[in-house]
Amino acid sequence: MIIDTQLAALFTAGALIVIGIFGALFLDNLIKKVIALAFIGDGANLFLVSLGYKAGGIVYIFLPGMAMSNFSQNASYPLPYALVLTSIVIGASTMAVMLGIIIILNKKYGSISASKILGE
């Protein structure tokens, strides 16, 4: 049984989001929580890219000599790719800030365990 590329990407995106939610809720290590949040963001990005995928599609750049009807029928949808590029930049900067806060918490409390920092 051969699975469609778009369907495989959707399943993978769902798995990344579920793994990320599990890690963010049930892991005690703050760095592992940040990695789990990155999994959620990557799953959302993969979901958006898979929505813009078109089987047999062409790049959405209108080249000289290309027929307008061929371009309009075969070009993939460009909006999800633009949203994913923006999301990657925002996610990278947010992760850097979260890791910086973890470094400060480690210096202050001597641990990166969420239960020790919260005093439970």
Predicted confidence (pLDDT) per residue in 27-67, tens digit: 999 999 999 999 999 999 999 998 887 777 777 777 788 78
Can you give the residue range of the structural domain that contains 70?
5-118
- What's the pLDDT tens digit per position in 70-91? 777 777 778 888 899 999 999 9
Residue with the two structure tokens 């999800």: 80
Whole-model pTM? Answer: 0.84
Which of these, 6, 15, 5, lies nearest to 48 by C-alpha position? Answer: 6
The CATH number of whichever domain residue 113 belongs to comes to: 1.10.287.3510
Q: How many domains does the chain have?
A: 1
